[in-house]
A = this chain, B = another copy of it.
């Protein structure tokens, strides 16, 4: 695990990114978290304007929890934080690709990423092990 400082952005750059984002009618933009270096897709969640701003300003990834209707500072309770490495916006501005350095695991189930179910031999199977016992489960 790298201990490099997170990438942060000045206000002017945050404003430029914000201007490129097309927030939906809920005020949200989709955010895909991808592990820096390996390319592993960790999770998909949502950000509102404040979450994008906080993520870029602090370098610690913050989402918007649709279920709790509150900022979701990833790892705040579990310690499994995501440090920002790069932030990209797609062609139509409605999806962000958030390159991160994941501490621990991304999924509230204790698996490294959330995409751990796939069809194998005709059955929907769990294809990734639980790596961490998430007693303080953190779920969107």
Q: Give A contacts to B, CB under 8 Å.
A: 9-10, 12-13, 16-17, 19-20, 30, 32, 34, 38-41, 43-44, 86-92, 95, 97, 107-109, 111, 114-119, 122-124, 127, 139-140
Contacts and interface: CB of A to CB of B under 8 A. Distances in A.
A132 to B, nearest CB: 14
A87 B109 CA distance: 19
Q: Name which of A43, A97, A139 has the most chain B CB atoms within 10 A of its CB.
A: A97
Number of copies of this kind of chain in the complex: 2
Given A39-B39, A39-B40, A41-B97, A91 B118 contact: no
Main secondary structure of the interface of A (DSSP, over half): mixed
A122 B10 contact: yes
